[in-house]
Amino acid sequence: MEITMLGTACAAAGVNRDNTSLLIENDNDFIMVDVSGNPMGKLKKLHVNSHQIKDVILTHFHIDHIYGLPSLLWGMWIEQRKQPLTIHCSSINTEKLKKWLELIDVENWPILFEININDYDWEKENKIIDRKGLSVSTFPAAHGEPNTGLNMIYGKKRIVYSSDTEPNDRIKDFEHINFLIHEATTAIESSKAHTSLKEIIEQYPINNIDNIILVHLTDSEPYDEMLNTLPIDQKQKFQIAKDFMKVQI
């Protein structure tokens, strides 16, 4: 299993970073988590055919996490995709998604593939994908509006993706996390509805986490300065993600 960081920036993007989104590959089975800019171009750079994307998981409906979806669907149509696509969306946002698809006139494209919407209750934990040894479940995030994190189990390994969130008690409660992909919109200062690197260090049980990958990053924030305050054994757990960085699970 491999996770590629398609983008690693906060909502305002960055000089060399696109907005945060992920691509999960498991035995040639591909899942996109949120859709930021130029999704088709990114897939081509990774030599991934858009036909291979089986699922798109939308964690929440802030623009920086969803604005690439019309471009992705348009590209799939142009490439004559025939396989069904499932979009996983919180039930509270299902009508917004349907209206958006109506607005871009998807029904009148000569589209060859079915778009299925799987809505889930963002306030509960829901298993939304379970195949080829990978299960993906949602859990509520603390973002001030409906938003979800992901709890992924692959073999004996647990991978947790925070999406946008304040420090989340659910993440603290996991007994052990092999890979935590977590937002760090700021390095030191607190930011409403988000988490700083300092808060990750102070509020999460770092000893129970093997690897911490920082995403949703802001240009010019002193992340290295903050990490340099840590003992070497803790500092080695952290990676400041870059676009197209790959994580082997």
Band (57; pLDDT cuts 50, 70, 90): very high
Cα–Cα distance for residue pair 149/152, rounded to 1 Å: 10
Band (210; pLDDT cuts 50, 70, 90): very high
**What length does the chain have?**
249
Q: What is the pLDDT of residue 142?
A: 86
Q: What is the pLDDT of residue 97?
A: 97
Using the predicted structure, report yes or no on whether residue 95 has a pLDDT greater than 90.
yes
Using the predicted structure, report yes or no on whether residue 167 has a pLDDT greater than 90.
yes
Let me know: does 111 contact 82? Beta carbons within 8 Å. no
User: What would the mean pLDDT of 205-217 be, rounded to a whole number?
Assistant: 97
Q: What is the pLDDT of residue 191?
A: 87
State the total domains in the chain.
Answer: 1
User: What would the mean pLDDT of 48-68 be, rounded to a whole number?
Assistant: 96
Using the predicted structure, report yes or no on whether residue 86 has a pLDDT greater than 90.
yes
Residue from 115, 185, 120 nearest 151 by CA: 120
Task: Report pLDDT digits (tens) over 71-80.
Answer: 999 999 999 9
Q: What is the pLDDT of residue 32?
A: 98
Sequence-distant (≥ 6) Cβ neighbours of residue 183 within 8 angstroms: 10, 20, 162, 163, 164, 165, 194, 195, 214, 215, 216
What percentage of the chain carries pLDDT values higher than 90?
95
Sequence-distant (≥ 6) Cβ neighbours of residue 131 within 8 angstroms: 29
User: What rounded mean pLDDT belongs to the chain?
Assistant: 96
Q: What is the pLDDT of residue 129?
A: 98
Q: Indicate which CATH number applies to the domain containing 104.
A: 3.60.15.10
What percentage of the chain carries pLDDT values higher than 70?
100
Lowest model confidence (mean pLDDT) among 19-23, 117-121, 163-167: 163-167
Q: What is the pLDDT of residue 36?
A: 95
How far CA 229 is from CA of 15, 84, 205, 232, in Å, comes to 26, 49, 17, 9
In this structure, the strands spanning 21-26 and 29-33 are antiparallel
Using the predicted structure, report yes or no on whether residue 145 has a pLDDT greater than 90.
no
Band (242; pLDDT cuts 50, 70, 90): very high
Using the predicted structure, report yes or no on whether residue 143 has a pLDDT greater than 90.
no
Cα–Cα distance for residue pair 13/27, rounded to 1 Å: 31
Using the predicted structure, report yes or no on whether residue 163 has a pLDDT greater than 90.
no
Q: What is the pLDDT of residue 24?
A: 98
Question: Domain of 114?
Answer: 2-248
